[in-house]
Amino acid sequence: MLLKFTKMHGLGNDFVVVDAVSRKVFFNKQQIERLSDRNWGIGFDQLLVVEPPTQPDMDFRYRIYNSDGSEVEHCGNGARCFAKFVLERGLTNKRVINVETKRGSIQLRVVEDDLVTVDMGMPSFMPADLPFSADPSSNSLYPLKAGSKEYQITPVSVGNPHAVIKVDELFDEEVATAGALIENHDLFPNNVNVGFMKVLTPSEINLRVYERGVGETQACGTGACAAVVAGIKQGWLSPKVTAHLRGGDLHIEWQGEGSPILMTGPAAKVFEGQIYL
């Protein structure tokens, strides 16, 4: 089958987006792994599949696959690319788009040509929602050993599982080594995304994220949301924060318990192409 695709990125976190509304498309694990290969395929962090909705009050259904073929619940950078894709392809003319995901519904708001605000829903610090096979203390901190070092992590779900670590400095080796160990830690049955956060001011952080099934990426939208809400929970951050990631900046707002997380950032098309599956 000849597959038409669009290559996109959100702050360097790159995606292949496929229209499965106009034509039904199905992928198996081996096809996704081959397509994601940066030498033998197209190359991407995640594959985004745009499908018709299954619910009458939704505009689309949105499926997300990691480069290893595993399906995941949520992707903030991908959601922004999704909104830009469906508008540019003429699949909708709405600038407020309601979308089904594996973890529930989200709302995307196109505020400028290259900026999209995503209502990411409400975070959860409940261990069962990640899942996380331990009970953190009352302030959600939990000591976890990775290699020879013990970290204080904040486990949080923002539709997918995250472990957020506040650090004094961001080191390449630590992100790669500790990120891989924590991603696959026994306390996280479904594995976990790992965020390393340096607090600059109450409204500004530097962040690097080791994503499960992918490794470190240039940016992670859900990782930025998780880091900010964890920082607010711990009293380190204010309700509005700029997160500096390797690929650029995201603006995150969370007003506290009972409020949704709002994430604003850019999305860009790189090219369109065709490839045989």
Residue type, 247: G
Nearest in space to 252 (alpha carbons), one of 225, 230, 226, 233? 225
Element (H, E) at 76: helix 76-88
> Is position 55 annotated in a ligand binding site?
no
CA–CA separation, 20 and 81 (whole Å): 15
Catalytic residue among 120, 199, 220, 229: 220
Q: Which of 75, 118, 178, 229 is catalytic?
A: 75
| Look-up of token digits 């909708």 | 92
Q: Is 66 a known ligand-binding residue?
A: yes
The answer to whether 179 is annotated as binding is no
Q: How many residues does the chain have?
A: 277
> Is 75 labeled as catalytic in the residue annotation?
yes
173 is in an annotated binding site: no
H-type helices in 109-251, by residue range?
A: 172-183, 221-233
Q: How many Cα neighbours within 13 Å face the side chain of 11?
A: 28
Is 46 annotated to bind a ligand? Reply is yes
The reply to whether 220 belongs to the active site is: yes
**Closest of 132, 112, 242 to residue 185, by C-alpha:** 132
Question: What is the set of active-site residues?
Answer: 75, 220
Annotated binding site for substrate: 13, 46, 66, 76-77, 160, 193, 211-212, 221-222
Enumerate the known binding-site residues. Answer: 13, 46, 66, 76-77, 160, 193, 211-212, 221-222
